[in-house]
Structures are given as C-alpha cells and as structure tokens.
Chain A
Amino acid sequence: MELLNNLALGFGVAFTLQNVFYAFFGALLGTLIGVLPGLGPVATIAMLLPSIYALDATPALIMLAGIYYGAQYGGSTTAILINVPGESSSVVTAIDGYQMARKGRAGAALAAAGLGSFFAGCVGTIIIAAFAPPLTELAFKFGPAEYFSLMVLGLIGAVVLASGSLIKAISMIILGLLLGQINTDVISGVPRFSFDVPELTDGIGFVAIAMGIFGFGEIIANLSRPAEHREVFTKDVKGIWPTRQDFKNAYPAVLRGTALGSILGVLPGGGALLASFAAYTLEKKTKGNPGDVPFGQGNIRGVAGPEAANNAGAQTSFIPMLTLGIPPNAVMALMVGAMTIKGIQPGPQVMTSNPELFWGLIASMWVGNLMLIILNLPLIGIWIKLLTVPYRFLFPAIMAFCGIGLYTLNNNNFDVFMAAGFGIVGYLFFKLGCEPAPLLLGFILGPMMEENLRRALLLSRGDWTAFITKPLSAGLLLAALLMIVVVSLPSIKSKREEAFQEEG
C-alpha cells in the first residue's frame, strides 16, 4: 500500500497547474526536437540547463524528463514519414514504418507507434515506482568500496552495450574522468590542473562541455557533410485509426516490446536505443499469423514492438539515476548535472530528502505520456509541416540559444570560450570516430568516483584488496570484467558489430 501512498503523493505534485505546464512544455519541446533534423535530446537539455536556474527543482526536472521521452515519440514520426529517424532509437522503426507509409498506411503506423509507446510508458512508470524503493534500500548498504565498484560497473556497462570500438570507448571514459579532475581537490583543497586560471579552480562547467561537444561540435560535423535531401512523405496521412486486424497483430508485439524494454532500460548503457534494436530482432524471430506482411515490407509489429520497447527503456533508465545517482546514459548524466545545479545531491537519499521531487517526477512521466499521445496523434499535421524546416534556419537558432545559455551560467564569457574550444574537440572526436557520450558519463562521475576510491582506501589503510575481499564489491567488479571479456570474445564481437551494422 506504500506504493499507492507514494504514487498519490507523486500525482498530487504532478497535477499542480505549474507542473502540468512544465510536463507539457517538456513533452512539446521533446517532440519538436525529435522531429527536427540534427538536434537531439542531449544538446537540447544542455541548452536548457541555464534556464533551470530560474525554476524550482521539481518543475525543472519534470521538464527535462519530458524532453527525453518526448524525443522518442517525435523521432518515430520522422522515421515513419520520411525514413529518417529523428532519434537513433527510432532507426529500426523506419524499416517497417516507412514501408507502411509508402503503402498509404502512415496513419496506422503512427497510431501503432503512439499507442504502443503510451502503453509502454504507463508500465514503465509503475515499474519505476515499484522498484525504486527496494533498490534505494540496497544502495544505503553500500560503503565507498561498493560504490566505487558499482560506478566501474556502470561505466563499463555503458560502453559494452553501445556501438563502436570498445577500447576507444573506455579511453573516452577515462578522458572524461581526467577532465573531471580539473577542479579543487575536495579533501586537501589544492587546485588541480587550473594553470592559475581562477575560473578553472571550480572545474570545467559540464554545460560548457556538453554544449561544446554535442551542440557546436555536432553542428560543425553536420555542416561539413554534404546536405542531405529530405523527401517528406505526407500525401497520405489520413485514417489515423488502425483497423481491428492491426490491433490484433500489434498488441502482442507491444507487450513483448514493453517487457524487453523495461528490463534493458535498467541496465547501464541500456535505455531506449538498445531496447528498440532488441525488440525488432525479437519480433522478427517471433512467428506471426499466416498471411502477415513480411518484415521489411510494412509489418505493423515491426513498428509497434520497437516503439513500445524504446519508450519503456527510456522510462526505466531513470531507475539507476534516481536510486543510485549513477547515470546510465548521456541524457541521464545531464539530469544528474541538473540536480546538482539545483543543490540536490543525487543518490539514494533523494527519495527521503526530496520525496515530492522523487515521486512527482515519476508521476509526471505518466502525465507526460498522456500528453504526448494527445500532442502526436491529432496534431500530426503540424509536425509534418515542421519536418520541412531546413537545417540552415535551425543551426543558427541552436547557436544563439547555446551562446546565451553559456553566458548566463556564471554571467561571464569564460564558459562561452570554453564551449568554443570543446566545439573543436567535439569535431576532432567526430573525425577520429570517438563516441563522445562515454566522456560525458566519465566527467560527471569522475569526482564521485575519486572521492569513494580515496575514502575506501583510507578505510582499508591503503589495502587495494579491499575491493575484491568485500563480496558485494567483488561481485560488481567481476560483473564488469565479465562484460568486457564476453564482448571481446571473437564470436560475440562479430555478432555485436553485425547488430550495429543496420544502424550505420
């Protein structure tokens, strides 16, 4: 019954006029950036971070969360209508969704995606509410050694499940950890790597890094590629409502996708992207009814399953962030940053110290999902028009918002210059094929990791074996090691590369 009481508290918070407004605004903005080309949730949330200084913590986080799951909805719209996934998690939706659109069944595809996502979102919300408290209890039993090992596992997990070269991704994490070392040492008070620049003694602003790499760096990368030609497939978006047969075909796929997505979302590095890929594979392997449209030619299950999975995954990826303070992906890393900006120390104590924030955020996700279905299905026409906005209007707008945001961080142009520098770094990473998301995770976790490592060593009197003699800590480290070994095995390695090939 505690669950119900908690949810009641949450809905009480979420249904205040102010919070409903911010959930709506976040969902709207998320859909917008999901639809617009070349603008992802990471850059958008980074762009909005400065403005949350003006908000209370709860509405601010509600808004940011809305952007994240709103982007999943918006991304599927572009995937279906123009075969260009707005978000990476909608890549597989494009395969069958676009084929459905070409056969004049865009409406049914959009509805399957929307309704499937809504169902998954509802389940995801309940799962968070049910599993967050026990996990939080567990986290309280953690000492510094266990916390350190957990963070190692989280960071390793985040990269083994992502695409690209594993060793490069681990290097990027360490680079991020090192960038996080540019600060004033918390224990001794010595400024490190500041080169006598006073602004650097507080550390590099993570907004400057995020905007520089994900905002400016990505713009440079986009502009240096030849412009892509977008063909909008809008002629036949009518008859939104799917047929009875569609429902019958789609609902088992939605159930499977939701279950798979919920599990994968909790894993470090999981979240929406992995969930949608796995769900599509599962649907392909599941036998359908005789006379079904084959996959790749417009099977509705190929839309409903992955879409449900990516939304469920997006929801449940909040669990490690909310209960342990450990972000499983780049968006959650920004959420942790946002909490810190608002003076909330992320970690297991958030649930008891800020229950309104904790349960309000969870309840607002359900509210946000409801709004998204209203925003997306009846108003689809508006989003279709937006699809045609050319990038040359868009990127100066991103630059303008980033510029102003960077300045207002500290009312100082230092962060503006830092971000310009990280723009160059971001382009360099792009050119060298180094995925920047792990760097951001490392940067966020760096100071926390160092503190726990040093405290663990203090407690064990300098004995490094403490990390492997404590059973919980040893188990976590072993799991991290296992993950690396498993993905390095030649047979799995080729499978992994194959799985991400479709994404390319």
Chain B
Amino acid sequence: MKIKSQKDFWSGLMFVVTGLGFAAGATNYNFGTSARPGPGYFPFGLGILLAILGALILFKSLTVESEGGDRIGKIGWKPLGLIVLSVVLFGLALPRLGMIISLPLLIFVASLAGDEFKLKEVLLNMVILTVGSWAIFIKGLNLVIPLWPTFLGN
C-alpha cells in the first residue's frame, strides 16, 4: 500500500486517534438515555463521528492520487523547539523571578529561533519590550504581575 497524500494520511490518523480517545474517555461518564442524555452522551457521539471522518480522510489518502504526494516537508525543529522552550521557561520563571528577568529571557530564547540573530538588536528589543510591558501592563492597566524576583523580598 502506498500513501498518496502524506498530509491527509497523517491528519486522518490524528483524527481517528483523537476521536477514539475522546469516545473511550467518554465511557467513564454516565451515558444516560436519549430521553435523558448524560454527560457522556455528546462527547461519545462526537468522538465516534470524528473517528469516522478521520477514517474517510485516511482512506482517501491511500486511494486518490494527489499532486507530488502532498508531502509534509521538513519539520522546523529549531523554531519549534526554541519557541516552545521560551514560552515554557517564561511560565516557570515569571512567578519566581519576576517579569524583569523572565521577559528578557523569553525574548532572548525566542530570538534564537530566527534566521538572523544580531546580539545588539536583541538586547535593544529586550530593553524596549520589558520597559514597554511594564508601562502598559503594570502601570497602565494595573494588572497584577510579579515584577521583581521573590528572593528580593516584596
């Protein structure tokens, strides 16, 4: 068997797996009856429906010819990894180290994901965005965001 459309094959598979996953999860909840549907009724039906549609996409990807095989192409591991990493680091650092450290950290790591990395520009970006965010969110909108690291007291 030959995959005729890579994109459709993998998305079909994704839909089948998630659909079945939700349907299986829904069996943990009371299904109820049609007259009195329980919490598991709607998600179970939807999960099955998604799995069926996914299977159709899967079937199509194996039978219908598509131009150039609809290849997925290279995965951009570098931007994927660095962007996600920068967000996770930010989430971990903000409550402990405050915005003054975590925001420049976010910007620095995220900037590494770009094609061009010029240290001077990135430093400038860090300063402008941190000061700007402080002015907009903490001064302007009065949002409660930790500014300084917790180990510095207040």
Contact = CB atoms under 8 A, between A and B. Distances in A.
Contacts of A408: 137, 143-145
A148 to B, nearest CB: 11
Contact of B38 (A171, A188, A392, A461): A188
A450 B37 CA distance: 10
A171 B15 contact: yes
A418 to B, nearest CB: 9
B3 interface: no
A52 to B, nearest CB: 10
B62 interface: no
Contacts of A395: 110, 114
A178 to B, nearest CB: 5
Contact of A413 (B15, B36, B74, B91): B91
Contact of B84 (A178, A221, A424): A424
A404 B30 contact: no
A432 B79 contact: no
B72 interface: yes
A433 B37 CA distance: 35
Given A174-B53, A403-B90, A420-B88, A453 B145 contact: no
Contacts, number: 202
Q: Is the interface of A mostly helix, strand, loop or mixed?
A: helix
Contacts of B141: 51, 54
B34 A457 contact: yes
Most buried by A among B35, B41, B43: B43
Given A181-B22, A190-B30, A407-B145, A458 B35 contact: yes
B43 A181 contact: yes
A167 B142 CA distance: 46
Contact of A433 (B11, B25, B111): B11
A175 interface: yes
Given A171-B54, A220-B79, A392-B121, A190 B87 contact: no
A12 interface: no
A321 interface: no
A221 to B, nearest CB: 8
Most buried by A among B18, B86, B114: B114
Nearest to B33: A462
Contact of A54 (B94, B114, B125, B142): B142
B135 to A, nearest CB: 12
B133 A400 contact: yes
Contacts of A51: 137, 141, 143
Contacts of B50: 171, 174-175, 178
Contact of B106 (A167, A188, A399, A461): A399
Nearest to A453: B42
Interface residues of B, number: 75
Interface in B32-64: 33-43, 46-47, 49-50, 53-54, 56-57, 60
B145 A404 contact: yes
A407 B99 CA distance: 11
Contacts of A428: 14
Band of interface residues on A:
35 or more
B53 A167 contact: yes
B99 to A, nearest CB: 7
A454 B35 contact: no
Nearest to A442: B46
A54 to B, nearest CB: 5
Nearest to A433: B7
Given A174-B46, A396-B107, A461 B35 contact: yes
Given A51-B137, A220-B80, A432 B10 contact: yes
Interface in A277-319: none
Contacts of B99: 404
Interface string A384-418: 00000001110111011101101110010100110
B79 A219 contact: yes
A419 interface: yes
Contact of A223 (B25, B33, B76): B76
Given A178-B50, A396-B111, 16 more contacts: A53-B143, A178-B43, A181-B43, A188-B39, A392-B114, A392-B115, A393-B121, A399-B87, A399-B106, A403-B94, A404-B103, A408-B144, A413-B95, A453-B37, A454-B41, A462-B33
5 contacts: A178-B47, A188-B39, A416-B87, A432-B10, A453-B37
Interface of B: 7-8, 10-11, 14-15, 18-19, 22, 25-26, 29-30, 33-43, 46-47, 49-50, 53-54, 56-57, 60, 70, 72-76, 78-80, 83-84, 86-88, 90-92, 94-95, 99, 103, 106-107, 110-111, 113-117, 121-122, 125, 129-130, 133, 137, 141-145
